[in-house]
Amino acid sequence: MSHGKDIGERGGQMEDTEFLKKVVDCCSGISYTYKDYIEQYPDLAPLPGPTIGDRAPDVDLETGQSLFSIIGNKKYTLLLSGADLEMAGKGEDLARSYAESLHFYLLGDSEAFQDTYKIDQTAIMYLIRPDGYIGFRCLLSEVTALEAFLSATLEQKISTSKGNLMPGITSHRAE
């Protein structure tokens, strides 16, 4: 990154936060994306922000937890953003259907999540793979596409108890 520069110039780069971020991202692999190699489902509504194949950005949520602390790394995680009771019910149904492979969190209208993921209060579903990358994302109105993806990707094991579900997160905003 600094080949051909004298030691003084290279040392000065260590004070540059953008340079340090670039170095850390390159060394850690966090900046790597699969989005150019994974099907993007052109029939789905285009959404801003991180897309299928991108590493899911971490977020410090209003609850005091970070997004990465609730995702874990053993199951897929379905994140439900937006205040929509139908979406919460659909998330529970999907988590029960894929109990051994999927858990979900209801983020509600988390401003921190919406800011980081560059979305508004529209009901959106993000499927995060166990390795922390986005496996699928869609609007609530496109949930049948998510169901088809889950059916093709995960083994369905129906659970009748709510014990397999992870507790949801609701945001608490001052009005």
User: What tens digit of pLDDT does each residue of 82-127 get?
Assistant: 867 777 888 888 888 888 889 888 888 899 999 999 988 888 999 9
CB atoms within 10 A of CB 98: 24
Q: Which amino acid is at 58?
A: D
Per-residue pLDDT, 138: 93
Query: Does 64 have pLDDT greater than 70?
Result: yes
Query: Does 164 have pLDDT greater than 70?
Result: no
Residue ranges of domains in the chain: 1-31, 37-164
Q: What is the CATH number of domain 37-164?
A: 3.40.30.120
Overall pTM > 0.95:
no
User: Can you give the three-state secondary structure of 16-61, one letter per residue?
Assistant: CHHHHHHHHHHHHCCCCCCCCCCCCCCCCCCCCCCCCCCECCCCEC
Report the sign of the C-alpha dihedral through residues 123, 126, 127, 130, in that order: negative
Quick: pLDDT tens for 67-78: 999 887 788 999
Q: Which residues of 7-30 are buried (b: 16+ CB within 10 A; e: fewer)?
A: eeeeeeeeeeeeeeeeeeeeeeee
Q: List helix spans (H) across the chain.
A: 7-13, 17-28, 67-71, 85-97, 111-116, 143-153
Query: Does 168 have pLDDT greater than 90?
Result: no
Per-residue pLDDT, 166: 40
